[in-house]
Amino acid sequence: MAVLNILRSNWFIIGIILVILFAKFDPGIGSKGGILKPEITVKYFAVFIIFFNSGLSLKTEEFAKAILQVKIHAFIQGFTFILFPLLMQTMATLLAPGPFDRHLIEGLKVLGCMPPPVSSAVILTKATIGNEAAAIFNSAFGSFLGIFVTPTLILMVVGSQADVPIATIIVQLCMTVVVPLITGQVVRQFVRVWLERTHIPFGSIGSFILLLIIYTTFCDTFSHEDLNLDTINLISIILLIVIIQCVLLTVIFVISTWKPLGFQPVDCPALMFCATHKSLTLGIPIIKIIFSGDPTMSVITIPLLVYHPTQILLGSVIVPFLRGWLLTQRKHRNSITMHV
């Protein structure tokens, strides 16, 4: 039973491993021109469904609860789209002379440009009884910003390697990301009561489609026999990403609890998770658009593929500690209030 619970709670991470193994076994099925025809089914339909799904499930009315918390928004969005990209750019520059695969280094730069996720940061913040409204607003707002900011940042950091014109990227992003998001939001207004009654598993649906995208991406990679990534590089990138996340989570905890900045204890989890988490759902489609036709594309996605499950695992580990800390802070504050 314990094993089944572990498998059930980590099914998406296990799914990523399995689809990569299947892609390695017979890449012809999901590669360009294969049976699945990913150049049509994935490039247009799968990505459209993911963002229509997000638009349909997104509770935009909850943004009003947190819209005036400008200091929190400025910190999270500034860290996500300015400080994080600068950090990864600096790290990539330091690693460039070493033995690291250069495409993995490009992947680190791309990782730094990613927006926050819509779901994981919110779920973890809610689990810690933190400022859920701020997490919802910043995750959604960051995702919308990411539609335009992330491709621009990627083109800035990778330079001429991204040979797709900016106009083409923006048009394709609008058709496969913006249009389905807006369509989903419009449809939601007509079927909101039905959606709340039926409890459709939007997260699971999006995750299954995302696994299909990851599968076809790696099928394309493995169909190029000249592309290899040694075990040492892979293990090194995993350890590096774990270290990066541990350091960033610690730094943001210290900053958010520094009294002169004026953040409340309840804001701490939202700041930690929203500022450090990166979106796989938005990131993979954007990478596929920008690096379309590049045989090294899936190596570039590896840092993001490693980062995503790591952020969920590390977040799940620290949730009980953050929750206990918040409850202690709340009791302490109540005690002071009673004495006053």
**CATH code of the domain covering residue 179:** 1.20.1530.20
Question: Which is more confident, 18 or 79?
Answer: 79
| Domain contains 10 | no
Q: How does DSSP classify residue 79?
A: I
Is the pLDDT reported for residue 141 higher than 80? Answer: yes
- Strand segments, DSSP code E, in 221-287 are none
Provide the pLDDT for residue 168.
Answer: 63
| Domain contains 334 | no
Q: How does DSSP classify residue 161?
A: G
pLDDT per residue over 281-339, tens digit each? 778 878 877 887 777 787 888 898 888 878 877 887 788 889 889 988 888 776 655 55
**What tokens does 261 get?**
């900045």
Of these ranges, 14-18, 173-177, 205-209, the one predicted with the greatest mean pLDDT is 14-18
Is the pLDDT reported for residue 18 higher than 60? Answer: yes
Is the pLDDT reported for residue 228 higher than 70? Answer: no
Question: Which is more confident, 71 or 26?
Answer: 71
Distance CA 138, CA 71 (A): 11
The helix/strand/coil state of 279 is coil
The helix/strand/coil state of 142 is helix
Is the pLDDT reported for residue 273 higher than 60? Answer: yes
| Domain contains 3 | no
| Domain contains 197 | yes
pLDDT per residue over 38-62, tens digit each? 777 877 777 777 778 767 776 666 5
pLDDT per residue over 166-183, tens digit each? 566 567 667 776 788 788
Q: What percent of the chain has pLDDT over 90?
A: 20
Q: How many CA atoms lie within 13 A of 204 on its CB side?
A: 7
| Three-class DSSP labels, 312-323 | HHHHHHHHHHHH
Domain that holds residue 264: 20-222+229-329
Q: What is the mean pLDDT of the chain?
A: 80
Work out the pLDDT band at 14, boundaries 50, 70, 90: confident
Angle at 338 between CA 334 and CA 340, to 5 degrees: 115
Provide the pLDDT for residue 74.
Answer: 94
| Domain contains 257 | yes
pLDDT per residue over 85-98, tens digit each? 999 999 999 988 87
| Domain contains 1 | no
The helix/strand/coil state of 338 is helix
Question: Which is more confident, 281 or 221?
Answer: 281
| Domain contains 123 | yes
How many structural domains comprise the chain? Answer: 1
Find out whether 202 and 56 touch, Cβ atoms under 8 Å. Answer: yes
**CB contact burial 222-235 (16+ within 10 A = b; e otherwise):** bbeeeeebeeebee
Provide the pLDDT for residue 167.
Answer: 64
Residue with tokens 């800035």: 156
Is the pLDDT reported for residue 231 higher than 90? Answer: no
CA distances from 281 to 165, 258, 264 (A): 23, 33, 30
| Domain contains 270 | yes
Is the pLDDT reported for residue 33 higher than 70? Answer: yes
**What tokens does 290 get?**
């920008």
Distance CA 71, CA 263 (A): 8
